[in-house]
Structure 1
């Protein structure tokens, strides 16, 4: 049963669909979401991702812990449902919405994701999330 729930969580993450649109052969969305929430609150998801990243880096002959990274940002328009307190204006791209920052290691593995108001500058995100 837990394997079915993990499969449903992985499907939802991979496809980006809403919880209520899980496939019919998956367990009901309410308990699946409940487990997903518990995994995240306990840090289980992050530990799994960290362990998998270390295994990939080791398989590629690299140190398990990355020593360098690349930061990238993207501003996206905020939907009408996005609250004014979580959105901002990116003057460079002329976008009113949010900005996402990602950091990847030299193999392209995701290290950090941060979503903030679009008014944030790249230097501000770097200072907020020191690697």
Structure 2
């Protein structure tokens, strides 16, 4: 779903995805993301991009189906 070889990145996509999942679970504000994740601007950029492309819903559906099995 996500092409990790798309371009060179400063922060890993896994770290960004973990930050998005953290936000969804805790409901914290974007600027309150803990420092061990990527900067909130980067996380917000990818969240907005993936949300508009429908990737977030695909990933969450896939994770949900894997957990239920």
Greater relative CO, 1 or 2 (CA 8 Å, sep 6+): 2
The answer to whether residue 54 in structure 2 is matched with residue 34 in structure 1 is no
Indicate the structure with greater strand content.
Answer: 1
Write out the 4+ residue segments of structure 1 that deviate beyond 6 Å after TM superposition.
none
Aligned match of 1:16: 27
Deviation, structure 1 residue 50: 2.3
Indicate the structure with greater helix content.
Answer: 2
TM-align CA RMSD? 1.3
Aligned residues: 57
Q: Secondary structure at the match of 1:33?
A: helix
Higher Cα Rg, which structure = 1
Aligned match of 1:78: none
TM-score with structure 2 setting the length: 0.72
Q: Which consecutive unaligned segments of at least 5 residues does structure 1 have?
A: 60-131
